[in-house]
Amino acid sequence: MDRQGFTGTAPDADLIESIAHDTIARLPAAFAAHLGAVVLIVEEVADEETLAALGIDHPLDLTGIYSGRPVGEKSSMESGALPDRIHLYRRAILDEWVETGVRLDDLVAHVTIHEIGHHFGLSDDDMHALEEAAG
């Protein structure tokens, strides 16, 4: 999948979500087993509150974010908490896609795995290794 495969309209949220789900399906079983309760959400851009909390001025500067507590910090005593969420921001992803020329599926996979890495409390090096393992 590349820019030449798209004509007329920009890839929609359903395509971004489909690529993200395909990425998750390729993860090693040890990781996939702990992602069942994580909600994947594709939105156009991050809201003002999220941007302000992160100190980001422009919505196209944020391609994704993990909201929740990393697996190692969870407690069996917690109840009533919102489910962990991975937000992917379509317009920021498309902007980066156009600017960098990276294949869309590779870019969405990279952002998705990066946010999954936050769910597991992984370092950047560990996230890169997970990305390689997911193909």
If you average pLDDT over every residue of the chain, what do you get?
82
pLDDT of 75 over the 60 cut? no
Q: What mean pLDDT is predicted for residues 88-103?
A: 94
Residue type, 33: A
Q: If one looks up domain 11-69+83-133 in CATH, what number appears?
A: 3.30.2010.20
Give the pLDDT of residue 118. 77
Q: What is the pLDDT of residue 26?
A: 86
Q: What is the mean pLDDT of residues 17-33?
A: 86
pLDDT value at position 81?
66
Comparing 103 with 123, the larger pLDDT belongs to 103
The residue with tokens 């996230």 is 127
Instruction: Write down the pLDDT at residue 80.
Output: 58
Among residues 48, 28, 46, the alpha carbon closest in space to that of 92 is found at 46
48-76 mean pLDDT = 84
Q: Which sign, positive or negative, has the C-alpha torsion 24, 17, 105, 55?
A: negative
